């Protein structure tokens, strides 16, 4: 009797998790907006533990999203915690390489996120660009072939275009076009925790304008990011920084 009860207690959270992914994406989004590293660590632990037990592709993808957000937060601390960022990136990379090797229904989003994972790793360790750059390009190419209008695919494509040197296919114009396509694919009325990327797109549009010295256009985009995600600490910091220049 005790054994049966113990098994039931173990299985119940996993069953609940499978049907309640929005709640986990909500935690990821909110923690990311507030720069709450402790909460991102907690969500990552929950999701990675459940992904290992269930092999559910939706849980695996959410775990990788949590680790991607966690790595970005760790890397952008005033004194970057690179070891912690690398650990989160390693987990996400292993999860996504396994997920995208199969035919999971969310494979396109997994490939797009994997491309961004490689990109973030390159930004932290430029020497790895020679090996990870081609992998990032191949991953986003595959994602585009599978789901060219998926907003997470478009978002990753835009980020890659923005940071890839023009000699290797980068283009600020193409990046902005990809980010604008995200805005088309996720109107504010459809923006949700699991249908994420709208505030990211506005922020990246602003960054692209800022790189070209187009401060008014950059500020307008960051204000749009705050209109759809009023809690976004990143958008607030970018606006505050622009106002001091």
The whole-number pLDDT of residue 20 equals 74
Per DSSP, the three-state class of 99 is helix
pLDDT per residue over 196-236, tens digit each? Answer: 999 999 999 999 999 999 999 999 999 999 999 999 999 99
CB 82 within 8 A of CB 120: no
- What's residue 245's pLDDT? 66
Distance between CA atoms of residues 218 and 239, nearest Å: 9
pLDDT tens digits along 12-21: 344 444 457 9
pTM of the model: 0.90
Q: What does the pLDDT read at residue 60?
A: 96
Ranges in the chain, pLDDT < 50? 1-18
The vertex-200 CA angle with 196 and 203, nearest 5°, equals 160
Nearest to 177 by CA among 194, 157, 207, 163: 157
Q: Which CATH superfamily is domain 151-245 in?
A: Tetratricopeptide repeat domain (1.25.40.10)
Instruction: Name the residue among 145, 156, 154 with its Cα closest to residue 118.
Output: 156
What pLDDT does residue 244 have? 78
Which residues are CB-contacts of 74 (< 8 A; sequence separation ≥ 6)? 37, 80, 81, 82, 84, 85, 88
How much is the pLDDT for 243?
79
């Amino acid at each position: 009797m005790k054994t049966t009860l113990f098994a039931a207690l173990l299985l119940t959270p996993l069953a609940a998790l499978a049907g309640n992914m929005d709640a986990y994406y909500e935690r990821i989004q909110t923690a990311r907006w507030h720069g709450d590293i402790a909460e991102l660590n907690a969500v990552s632990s929950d999701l990675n533990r459940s992904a290992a037990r269930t092999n559910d592709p939706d849980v695996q993808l959410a775990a990788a999203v949590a680790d991607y957000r966690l790595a970005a937060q760790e890397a952008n601390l005033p004194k970057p915690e690179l070891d912690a960022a690398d650990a989160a990136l390693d987990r996400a990379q292993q999860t996504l390489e396994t997920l995208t090797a199969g035919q999971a229904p969310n494979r396109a989003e997994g490939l797009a996120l994997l491309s961004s994972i490689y990109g973030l790793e390159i930004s932290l360790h430029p020497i790895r660009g020679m090996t990870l750059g081609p992998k990032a390009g191949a991953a986003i190419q595959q994602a585009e072939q599978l789901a060219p209008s998926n907003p997470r695919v478009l978002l990753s494509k835009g980020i890659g275009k923005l940071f890839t040197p023009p000699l290797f296919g980068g283009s600020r114009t193409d990046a902005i076009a990809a980010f604008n396509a995200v805005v088309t694919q996720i109107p504010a009325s459809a923006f949700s925790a699991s249908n994420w990327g709208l505030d990211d797109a506005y922020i990246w549009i602003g960054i692209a304008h800022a790189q070209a010295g187009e401060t008014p256009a950059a500020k307008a985009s960051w204000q749009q990011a705050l209109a759809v995600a009023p809690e976004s600490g990143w958008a607030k910091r970018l606006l505050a920084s622009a106002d001091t220049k």
